[in-house]
Amino acid sequence: MATLVALVVVIVLIVFLDWCYKVYKRNKQLEKIPGPWPVPFFGYKLPTNVFDLKCMFDELIEKYGKTCKLYIGESLHIVTCDANLIEHVMKSNVHIKRTKVYDLAKPWLKDGLIVSAGDKWRQRRKMCTPSFHFSVLKDFFTLFKRSSNTLIERLDEQADKGVEIDAREFISKFSFEVIAESSFGIRINVQNGEGLDYIKSVDNYAKIVFTRAFSMWKRFEILFKLFSEDFKIHKSSLDVIDEKAKIIIQNKHDLYINMNGGTEILPAIKKNTSLIDQLMHNAKLPDDGVHEEINNFLFAGYDTTTSALSFTLFELSKHRDVQEKLYEEIKSTLNNDFSKLTHENLQSMKYLDQVVKEMLRLRTPVPLIERELEEDLKLGDIIYPKGTAITMLLYWLHHHEDYYSEPEKFDPERFNPDNPQPSTFTYVPFSAGPRNCIGE
């Protein structure tokens, strides 16, 4: 027994010393970058909810400045809201690999556009890009208007009751309805009660992924499956999500067959083609690959659009002067007739553009993103070693006083063309460079 205890102690000591050596080596390489000393094996104590996460990054920036080093386990993260460092990472054609934390979403997103890297990412990006051309979006303008009218009707019903509402509940249904039809050709009247199981499943799954990202033990798949109460919800939500993707693909196969008298023949690809047709038409992409991208785009489009629109309504509700000025622009552009709204006159609403841009700055829908350096990155007299995770704090970049005066103030005049505009890498709500958001 004594021998066994001694052996365990020796093993623990060896593992501990190995951990200390790795941390020491990395700290030596980045000794000019400040940061808290990590707890052995665990690294920095992480929060378990989004509110505490914001407080954590607020405190780190306050104490260490725009850039600091942080350990999660033995994984080194360079946490930054420095526009110069962010620029060098974002504009690189080399550093496009996601960090390991994105692997938590792989049961859902598989190896789709959000999480893939290298040649596969480049191939998929090239494949999907034509479907996000402005001319394609213009073709769906009638759909956008139809779903918007339904949204207005639902909000009118609530306004007549004179009670507070959670706008996100309504916006999420609207966003999913629009994205499902415009990108994948399926019409689901979500705002009238259809398809709510999918939205609930996406929300549940996303929350669980976030929780796992900031839990040391839930990150381990075996521990998560055995001991977490969330695993059953995780699995059932994924079943619903995957089933929806399968239905979309099968419906397309059936449509192609019906169009050609019982034989599946893919229609000729056009310049302006919806995403689902673009994916299905590509001979290099099997149904499994189409499935991956459906899950990626339904989530990425639904979640970010919902956040952006919800926060826009939130800010307008708090700033009556902005709301009135925007309302007057819309009335004068459309001559008080909403039915006259077109793609062309929408582009002429300059103040609307300012409002949306300022909201994306103030309430950045994707508050942070991560990349793993695929080779050493030299910036000034600092060399960030290969394998380092760069955590780019987009929300905190947009709220830093070095880049914006009164950063906590909602002020659409920041984006008035007559005023000085933010530089490219101090305003990145859609990221920037080769891996910017395809849906910008």
DSSP 283: T
3-class DSSP state of 198: helix
3-class DSSP state of 235: helix
| Angle (nearest 5°) at CA 120 between 123 and 106 | 130
Pairing of strands 382-384, 377-379: antiparallel
Residue at token pair 């260490």: 64
Tell me how far apart the alpha carbons of residues 192 and 250 are, in angstroms, rounded to a whole number.
24
Question: In angstroms, what CA-CA distances link 189 with 146, 150, 182, 303, 316?
Answer: 11, 10, 13, 18, 27
Tell me how far apart the alpha carbons of residues 390 and 375 are, in angstroms, rounded to a whole number.
12
**Strand arrangement of the beta sheet that strand 75-80 belongs to:** 67-72, 75-80, 389-393, 368-372
Question: In angstroms, what CA-CA distances link 417 with 317, 354, 412, 421, 440?
Answer: 25, 9, 11, 7, 20
Residue at token pair 């005066």: 405
Tokens of 254: 């059936």
Give me the phi and psi of 420, to 5 degrees please.
Answer: -60, 135
68 among annotated binding-site residues: no
Q: At what angle do helices 350-362 and 320-334 cross, to 10 degrees?
A: 150
Instruction: Specify whether the backbone of 44 is left (phi greater than 0), alpha (psi in -120 to 50) or beta.
Output: beta
Instruction: Specify whether the backbone of 73 is left (phi greater than 0), alpha (psi in -120 to 50) or beta.
Output: left
Residues in the annotated binding site: 437
Residues in the annotated binding site for heme: 437
